Chain A
Amino acid sequence: MDDAELLERLLGGDEKAFTELVVRYNDSLIRVALYYVNTLSSAQDVAQDTWIAVLRGVDRFEGRSSFKTWLFRILVNRARTTGTKEHRTIPVDPLDTGATVPATRFDEGGTWRVPPEPFTEAIDNAVANERILRIVHESIARLPEPQQAVVTLRDVQGLSTMEVAEILGLSVANVRVILHRGRARVRSDVETTMQGGGS
């Protein structure tokens, strides 16, 4: 069921529609909130406040943006306020051009010395492979901010790069760099685990 249908049901007071939305988005809300606030428990509180704001405002939601965009805008507004109260310094992703793959994996000419090994399990369909899903989502949860917020909004929730930039108050170019670094890190975690480095 898509978000629009769930919202319609929510307007009609359907509790299941509400819990479905919570299951769909609460993790991501917390991950994005962590960019702005100091602790996991603050992030959980901000996520809860966001749901209360959704319940209060859903009858006024006009659908000019997607529900997702609306939801994350509410979250970020609240998280910023909380972060300010906590005197949080928002982490900045170092924009140096630091390589995402360790230089030791290349020879002097820049050719692979230790190339990426094809995954040991044949994976044609990541979506159907529970092991990959688990590794990827655990890895995203370990990403430093702002990589975690950017990867969550772009790759987990599928917002456009422009929407991500707008929601987080970053430039599109900046979002792309952060995304690149975050994705490279997640891929590297998958590679390590799929080569028998983990379970």
Chain B
Amino acid sequence: MKLTAPSLVCQQAVELMSDYLEGALSRRDRRRLEKHLAGCPHCSTYLEQMRLTIEASGVVGPNDLEPETLDGLVEIFRRFHDEPDQR
């Protein structure tokens, strides 16, 4: 006899989304989530938004690098190359 896993409600489904995208869910949980997603447009929207968020995170965004910081580091770099023994 095959036991059927209890189905998920939305509130449980959202807590599995990150692990789902990581491929870290057990087979059982993955099936339960996919079954839920197939019938729930709201949770599908949530998942899509999380996917977009992660995708956007991986793009080098607006940089907070201050010009003084960069200048300071370039200065250090030049010292390294001009006087390699003075490190």
Binding site for B on A (CB under 8 A): 13, 15, 18-19, 22-24, 26-27, 30, 44, 48, 51-52, 55-56, 97, 99-101, 103, 106, 109-112, 115-119, 123, 126-127, 129, 132-134, 136-137, 140-141, 151, 155-156, 158, 161, 176, 179-180, 183-184, 186-187, 190-191
Contact = CB atoms under 8 A, between A and B. Distances in A.
B62 A137 contact: yes
A18 B74 contact: yes
Given A23-B65, A183-B54, A186-B53, A112 B42 contact: yes
Nearest to B16: A180
B76 A55 contact: yes
Interface majority SS on B: helix, strand, loop or mixed?
helix
Nearest to A110: B9
A111 B15 contact: no
Contacts of A176: 18-19, 22, 24
A24 B60 contact: yes
Contacts of A23: 60, 63, 65, 70
B37 interface: no
Given A27-B65, A119-B49, A176-B19, A106 B60 contact: no
